[in-house]
Amino acid sequence: MTSAPHHATPGVVFHLDEGDPAKHESVLRNVANVLDALGDGTVVELVTHGPGLRAVLAGAPHETALRTLIERGVQVDACANTMRREHVGEDQLAAGVTIVPAGIVQLIHRQRDGWSYVRP
C-alpha cells in the first residue's frame, strides 16, 4: 500500500463518492479545468471512496482522462476501507492511483491543512 505524501502548500482536494460514470466524467473535467485555470503547478488531489471508487478502476469508462490528470501531477486516491468492503485489490486500480487508509479521513486532513475543498 502506498501512502499519500504531505504537501507544504495547501492545494485543492476534490471529493468523489458517487458511482455514476457521467458524474465521474464531470468531476474529471472539473479537475482538468482547475489545472487549466490555475496552472499545472497547482497541487490537486482527487479522493474517491464508496461508489466513487469505480472511477479509478482499471478499465473504467474515463480511464484515459484519469491517466491524463495523473500525468499532469494530480494525486488520485482510492479509499482502502472501500476497497476492502468491495473486495477490490490494488491490481484492479488504474495505474498511478494512490491508496489512502480512509477517504473521509484524507479529506479531513486536507481541510485541516487549509486545502480548498470541492465536491462537484
In a domain, 18, yes or no: yes
3 has a pLDDT exceeding 80: no
What pLDDT does 6 receive?
A: 53
In a domain, 80, yes or no: yes
Q: What mean pLDDT comes out for the span 75-97?
A: 98
Per-position DSSP letters for 48-80, written without gaps between them? E-GGGGGGGBTT-TTHHHHHHHHHTT-EEEEEH
Q: What mean pLDDT comes out for the span 66-80?
A: 97
Band the pLDDT of 117: cuts 50, 70, 90.
very high
In a domain, 4, yes or no: no
Residues 42, 105: Cα–Cα separation, whole Å: 22
Domain holding 65: CATH number?
3.40.1260.10
What pLDDT does 51 receive?
A: 98
What pLDDT does 5 receive?
A: 53
- Domain limits at 68? 12-118
In a domain, 2, yes or no: no
* Domains contained in the chain, number: 1
Q: What mean pLDDT comes out for the span 9-24?
A: 95
Distances (CA, A) of 62 to 66, 68, 104: 6, 10, 23
In a domain, 73, yes or no: yes
In a domain, 68, yes or no: yes
97 has a pLDDT exceeding 70: yes
In a domain, 5, yes or no: no
Binning the chain into helix, strand and coil, the percentages to the nearest 5 are: 45, 20, 35
Cell of 33: 479545468
Cell of 96: 498511478
pLDDT in tens, 35-47: 999 987 899 999 9
Q: What is the mean pLDDT of the chain?
A: 94
**pTM of the prediction?**
0.92
In a domain, 74, yes or no: yes
